[in-house]
Amino acid sequence: MRLLHTSDWHLGRSFHRVSLLDAQRAFLEHLVDTAERHRVDAVLVAGDIYDRAVPSLAAVELFDGVLHRLADIGVPAVMTSGNHDSARRLGVAAGLIGKAGIHLRTDPADCGTPVVLADAHGDVACYGLPYLEPSLVRGVLGAAGRGHTAVLEAAMDRVRADLAARRDGTRSVVLAHAFVTGGEVSDSERDITVGGVASVPAGVFDGVDYAALGHLHGCQTVNERVRYSGSPLAYSFSETGHRKSMWLVDLDERGAVQAERLFCPVPRPLARVRGTLDALLEKPEYERHEDAWVEATLTDPVRPADPMARLADRFPHILSLAFDPEGTDAAPGSSYADRLRGRSDQQVAEDFVGHVRHGRDVDARERRLLSDALDAARLERAEDGVSR
């Protein structure tokens, strides 16, 4: 069976206030053309279809259009909700849409109910796991713990139980929206930390032939059977080095996996440039970036006058400007996002309390209060379908 694995479309998202609707439309056209050209048996979309819980009308129209095109060419799709989506809104009319071969999986209670596809070698059971907010779904799934690993293990227990009841030789695929240990992050993914632990071990997905993952925006292979497709477009300058792609996955009659990267169209290249203003304006080595979306970091000891306007004369698509004067104590090129990377919401909150109290750290009681408050906020937003 041939599957096309993609995720993290983030329909409706902009790039530094530049609309990406045309680029997203071009990607979706490319997706349908790819599915038809490679004769895929199904398209897998592992979450974050929209960028916001309440998407714009333009984003909804893009989604509606790709559903019609996939249905028109007779290619079924299995799609799950991610942490940017409102699962309830995305799942509206799922039963009716499913009759056209577009299978939306947004209800955690349905984790063990697959979409069953068939080819000449038998059945392939596709299990769609929506993004699982631990505080919200722990009771639904009967999870033993409160974190991401606990709820994913509970969901996968349902998957494995259903698979065990099926005929021998049934192959299996799971879609999941999660942060798997060892994955490489970028600045454009929203934090899904709860209780200080966001990542889950790849072993959670043991027992299935292929795990099609979403959430991380870089295409990557955790192991031969567990892969991220990454986002089809760059959504931050931290993705400058990414080559955006989808996975074309072939499952043979035994469930062995062969995967090939298929690259996505690039609306405009990204470039990060660094140096003094005069150097960026004059050096020929920067000519290749003149048509790119540019993030410039100026190292002048004294901030120059009108730097953005002057840089725009050479780089008309410059979108971001930062200052990192030479001779300061800060690490070269460090940003606020760099300083926060790898730190949980809990750690950031505790650091803030210590800062405003002039170095007096939180005690055990305050630490528990902060943890409870963060979990309550996440739960309230998840229940209301509010983008976080």
Beta-strand ranges (E) seen in 54-193 are 77-80, 102-105, 115-119, 122-128, 171-177, 179-180
Which one-letter amino acid corresponds to residue 311?
A: L
User: What is the enclosing helix (H) or strand (E) of 220?
Assistant: strand 220-223
Q: How many CB atoms lie within 10 A of CB 303?
A: 10
Q: How many CB atoms lie within 10 A of CB 245?
A: 18
Which one-letter amino acid corresponds to residue 347?
A: Q
Q: Is the pLDDT of residue 54 over 70?
A: yes
Q: Where are the alpha helices (DSSP H) in 110-232?
A: 134-141, 148-164
Write down the pLDDT at residue 342: 62
Write down the pLDDT at residue 376: 81
> pLDDT of 244-267, one tens digit each?
999 999 999 999 999 999 999 999
**Range with the lowest mean pLDDT among 4-18, 50-64, 175-189, 253-267?**
175-189
Q: Is the pLDDT of residue 111 over 90?
A: yes
CB 133 within 8 A of CB 379: yes
> pLDDT of 303-347, one tens digit each?
999 999 999 999 999 999 999 998 655 555 555 555 566 677 888
Position 194 confidence tier, pLDDT thresholds 50, 70, 90: very low
> pLDDT of 65-105, one tens digit each?
999 999 999 999 999 999 999 999 999 999 999 999 999 99
Write down the pLDDT at residue 329: 53
Q: Is the pLDDT of residue 384 over 60?
A: no
Position 386 confidence tier, pLDDT thresholds 50, 70, 90: very low
Q: Mean pLDDT throughout 210-228?
A: 96
CA distances (Å), 117 to each of 24, 173, 267, in order?
28, 10, 34
Write down the pLDDT at residue 375: 80
Position 109 confidence tier, pLDDT thresholds 50, 70, 90: very high
pTM of the model: 0.83
Mean of all residue pLDDT scores within the chain: 90
Residues in the chain: 388
Gap between the Cα atoms of 199 and 182, Å rounded: 8
CB 87 within 8 A of CB 131: yes
**Range with the lowest mean pLDDT among 96-110, 203-217, 356-370?**
356-370
Comparison of pLDDT for 382 and 29, the residue scoring more: 29
> pLDDT of 134-190, one tens digit each?
989 999 999 998 889 999 999 999 999 999 999 999 999 999 999 998 777 777 776
Please state the φ and ψ torsions of residue 377, each to the nearest 5 degrees: -65, -40
Write down the pLDDT at residue 388: 39
